[in-house]
Amino acid sequence: MLNAIGSGIDLSDGEASDYYYLVADLLESETVKQMQDYIHHGDTTCFQHCLNVSYYNYKVCRFFSLNARAGARAGLLHDLFLYDWHTYKRKKGERLHGFTHAKTALKNVREHFYVSDLESDMIEKHMFPLNITALPKYRETLVIVLVDKYCGLIETVIPRAKKLSSLIVKLGARFGKASAKE
Domain encompassing residue 166:
14-181
pLDDT given at position 182 = 53
Percent of all residues in the chain with a pLDDT value above 70, rounded to a whole number: 74
**φ, ψ for residue 137 (rounded to 5)?**
-95, -25
How many other β-carbons are positioned within 10 Å of the β-carbon of residue 68? 21
5: Cα separation from own chain's centroid: 10
Instruction: Report the number of distinct structural domains present in the chain.
Output: 1
174: in domain: yes
7: in domain: no
List for the chain the helix, strand, coil content (%; round to 5): 65, 5, 35
pLDDT given at position 97 = 47
Q: Which of 30-34, 56-60, 146-150, 158-162 has the lowest mean pLDDT?
A: 158-162
pLDDT score of 16 more than 60: no
Q: Which helix (H) or strand (E) holds 49?
A: helix 46-63
105: in domain: yes
Which tens digit of pLDDT belongs to each residue from 73-132? 999 998 887 666 556 566 776 655 455 678 888 898 899 999 999 999 999 987 877 677
30: in domain: yes
pLDDT given at position 112 = 93
8: in domain: no
82: in domain: yes
95: Cα separation from own chain's centroid: 21
What DSSP state is assigned to residue 65?
T
- Residue 12 and residue 118: Cα distance in Å, rounded? 25
Predicted TM-score (pTM) of this structure: 0.78
pLDDT given at position 61 = 98
4: in domain: no
Which tens digit of pLDDT belongs to each residue from 131-157? 777 788 999 999 999 999 998 888 888
3: in domain: no
- Residue 101 and residue 78: Cα distance in Å, rounded? 9
What value does the mean pLDDT of the chain take? Answer: 81
CATH number at residue 131: 1.10.3210
Give me the long-range contacts of 64-67 (CB less than 8 A, separation at least 24): 64/139, 64/143, 66/139, 66/140, 66/143, 67/118, 67/140
